Structure 1
Amino acid sequence: MSDPSNPWNIPFSRTSFLIRLLSNHENVKNLRREQDILFLFERKQQGDQMRMLGGDEYAFSLALVMRALQDFGPLQYICVGGLWNGYSAQAKDYCQQNRIGLYNSSELSGGLWATKYWDYAKKDKDGNRYYSFKS
């Protein structure tokens, strides 16, 4: 049965991980939660207001991005889950075009620092961008 305060059924372990990550991030201040999995905060360096959805999907699809926007309104970030979680190429493309940072937990910290937060990507040893694509 679905929890009305968490209709996406995100486990408490994922939510508490994100609380710790955001609370301890040096570029985040004034962290608040709404609707259990929606995080609101300011970025210190950039001085902007951010809205982030915390998810837990193995492969976050474009359909889930659209559902997230419908359910929670405008978002600047979507965290799809832990290191083993990722997103489809279509979801990443849509998010980049619409200035939404779509990241798993290994990418999120860097995305929180980036002025163009929707365009941040980790790089390999040769400087090539890489993403956590899943299908």
Structure 2
Amino acid sequence: MNDSVLVKLDRLFDKLKTASDGDDWNAVRGLVAQVASLVKVYEKPLPEEPKERGFYVTANDGRLLLKDIDDDWSACTYDNSSTHAFWKNGRNYVKWPTVCETLPPEAFPLKRVNIGERR
């Protein structure tokens, strides 16, 4: 029988409760390691962050993003509200993990926009 991850986690958490109630800390450590390894298998790595600074568009809807000199990302959006923030954390400038958390998977990979040569 092939149990889902949630069923496996539920069983491990039941065992953790029993072990911690009985002060069996060796068992607790072993079970915590099992939970961590189970969760690790199902983690998805972040898409690769573009190395160069500049403008990028998302693959799904062509949203324009900017990677600045501090390696912060901003979204070039039009909104009538002065309090609007695009990113999930409510900020205007974010690091790569927040970009990945905010945008859907189909937005990647980002495509670099050639804006011509600067003078």
Q: Which has the higher contact order (CA 8 A, sep 6+)?
A: 2
Higher strand share: 1
Computing the radius of gyration from Cα coordinates, the structure with the larger value is 2
TM-score (norm 1): 0.20
TM-score normalised by length of structure 2: 0.21
